[in-house]
Amino acid sequence: MVRIHRSPLAAVAISLAPMVSMAHGADKPTDPQIAHIAYTAGVIDIEAADLALKKTHNKAVRSFAEEMARDHAAVNKQALALVKKLDVTPEDNATSRSLADAAAKKREELSGLQGRAFDKAYAENEVAYHRAVNSALETTLIPGAENGELKSLLRTGLKLFQEHQHHAEHLVGELK
Amino acid sequence: MKGARIIPRAVVAGGLLAGLSAAWGAESHVHVITVDKLAFGPAPKGLHVDDIVEWTNGDILRHTATAADGSFDVDLPPGGKGRALLKRAGVLLYTCRFHPGMKGRLEVAP
């Protein structure tokens, strides 16, 4: 499932493909799986932000990465509180694993870049990543969630990630 | 020195109160705008110069209320609140610096 690909969008799209196809298949994700996928998606972006904070010297990239780390940590904290309240144990699954694998490869690729090349690649990947996660939220995770509170948290997550996507697009424009 | 020690509390408290009411006027109104799910609540009606707008952030996310004309830049920590004094009449547009899709508009009468 996971392939190294030149285009960050394609790489993320490939990694998210099973999530999207689940909507139509018999193996629709369950709430514990949806919670796990959403949480994993947040952790991945926090790790990407941590890498950016270590590597970048660009003020706009730094402030964007700080925002990503702060917002995703806040949403994940809320998600943990919710699963605890609902007595749901997030369940690892193929989609979470392929997301994490693709992210590890991307991180390795980004780690090898320096300066402007890093900043550009990081910002472009943030656009592609948020776009892919948003599409998964819209088409699979939100419609698939059975619990109302989980659904509502995912909706807030979607709104937030759309903001992040716009911010990332703006950042890509600034770095040109 | 001894006398100075006796005065403080009441006088300082009185002074502070006087200072506050001078700054924010006895007739200045506080208008509350709630921030929730990445959106500013509706703009209050009847805003006037010297009124105060208070944003209450119900989100788990940090936001700001930042005026396009630079007249205020209020930090809104998650679950926290912040205030701005309306200094000028006119239309004031503001956004969140972190989430620019969040937009607000205040109409301030003289």
Average pLDDT over residues A11-16: 47
Q: How far is A52 from chain B (nearest CA, A)?
A: 17
Give me the pLDDT at residue B78, please: 94
Chain A hits for B61, Cβ within 8 Å = 70-71, 74-75, 160
Q: How far is A33 from chain B (nearest CA, A)?
A: 23
Chain B hits for A163, Cβ within 8 Å = 38, 98-102
Look up tokens 């629709």; give the residue: A28
Q: What are the CA-CA distances from residue A75 to residues A70, A136, B102 (Å)?
A: 9, 17, 18
For testing contact with chain B, the best of A72, A151, A158, A163 (most B CBs within 10 A): A163
Which of A29, A38, A28, A133 lies closest to A79 in space, CA to CA?
A: A38
Name the residue of chain A whose CA is nearest to B37's CA.
A156
Residues of chain A whose beta carbon is less than 8 angstroms from a beta carbon of chain B are: 67, 70-71, 74-75, 77-78, 156, 159-160, 162-163, 166-167, 170
pLDDT at B6 over 70: no
Which of B16, B21, B25, B15 lies closest to B87 in space, CA to CA?
A: B25
Q: How far is B98 from chain A (nearest CA, A)?
A: 7
pLDDT at A166 over 50: yes
DSSP assignment of A94-135, as one string? Answer: HHHHHHHHHHHHHHHHHHT--HHHHHHHHHHHHHHHHHHHHH
CA distance B69 to B89: 13
pLDDT at A14 over 60: no
B46-84 confidence digits (pLDDT tens)? 999 999 999 999 999 999 999 999 999 999 999 999 999
Cβ atoms of A51 and A161 closer than 8 Å: no
Are B37 and A156 an interchain contact pair (Cβ–Cβ within 8 Å)? yes
DSSP assignment of B71-102, as one string? Answer: S-EEEE-TT-EEEEE--S-EEEEEE-SS-TT-
Are A167 and B99 an interchain contact pair (Cβ–Cβ within 8 Å)? yes
HSE-up (13 A, CA, CB side) for residue A49: 22
Are A163 and B102 an interchain contact pair (Cβ–Cβ within 8 Å)? yes
Q: How far is B28 from chain A (nearest CA, A)?
A: 35
Name the residue of chain A whose CA is nearest to B36's CA.
A156
Q: What one-character DSSP code corresponds to residue B66?
A: E
CA distance B16 to B37: 36
Give me the pLDDT at residue A57, please: 96
pLDDT at A78 over 50: yes
A102-119 confidence digits (pLDDT tens)? 999 999 999 999 999 999
